[in-house]
Structure 1
């Protein structure tokens, strides 16, 4: 977006971009914590461990919903400390 000669940041879009990036990061984290060959298998395995429905896990994998911090921390613990440092240092 431009205003005269100055480029302006679209603040309305920034929040959506951050939410989408967070959801994608958590979906990738689920795959790392519960390695399997299919989304359905991952949903079943993660649901048992996290005490949620397989549908909820599927929604996270498809980036339809945000996970609460409780689940993010649990999955990070399962995936391992390497994930924590990757996130802090800005690595993928």
Structure 2
């Protein structure tokens, strides 16, 4: 399997709230040596539009290539599968 070295991370950072799961996902990717294209959703409207466009219920969402990995728990499992 080819090692993924680039990921796109969509995460919520509102003026009054930074999603801790988005922070965790970014840290997991960086720790794994993956380059992160960190795309910040800065308003509730941006978050809602993203969720509707990708048919997901939550953020963060991680994409590697054309594959949607999912949120931070899904990312943890995906990374464990790569190392095992």
Structure number having the greater strand percentage: 2
Larger relative contact order, structure 1 or 2 (CA cutoff 8 Å, min sep 6): 2
Which of these two proteins has the greater Rg computed from alpha carbons? 1
Structure number having the greater helix percentage: 1
TM-score range, shorter chain: under 0.3
Normalised TM-score (structure 2): 0.28
